[in-house]
Amino acid sequence: MLVKSLAAASVAALSLFVSAAQAAADTAPAGEPQNVLRVTVEGVKSPRGHIRVDVCPVGDFLKDCRYGGAAPATPGVTTVIVKDLPPGTYAAQAYQDGNDNHSVDRNILGLPTEGVGFSNNAPIGFHPPSFGSAAFSYAGGEQAISFKLRHFAD
């Protein structure tokens, strides 16, 4: 009798645990990313192409960044959503890809012919900014940053 009571109590406890875990899982809508970075890009000059944003950890900055997003260019301000970004320290770069070739076009002098910008509005001189000047912390969840595109050769 004691064995049956312990077994029944164990099943009840397990059932309660499973129900609580399922209720916690149900609080987040299915299929929606839990970590979302909203990047507001200002200084968009035309409706051509897309605004592309790359969000990079220190080792990937200005290279092949693992995280990013794109949105159709809207003159003035365009917001790009980066989904499923793990918490960490990152730097973001954005550009207006007017011809949708997935790269920043440059003139004969090497200057970008499409608007470019970096998180923290990090200064751009004769070379791109350092990771440190563009770095920001992302704690997870929903977060927003904003910065401006700069135009060098139109």
Higher pLDDT, 89 or 30: 89
Average the pLDDT over 29-34 and give the result: 60
The domain segmentation of the chain, as residue ranges, is 1-32, 36-148
What is the band of 154 on the pLDDT scale with cuts at 50, 70, 90?
Answer: low
DSSP assignment of the chain: -HHHHHHHHHHHHHHHHHHHHHHHHHTSPTT--S-EEEEEEEEE--SSSEEEEEEE-GGGTTS--SEEEEEE--SEEEEEEEESPPSEEEEEEEEEETT-SSS--B-TTS-BSS-EEEGGG---SSSPPPHHHHEEEE-SSEEEEEEE-B-S--
Considering the entire predicted model, what is its pTM? 0.77
Per-residue pLDDT tens over the stretch 42-91: 999 999 999 999 999 998 888 878 999 999 999 999 999 999 999 999 99
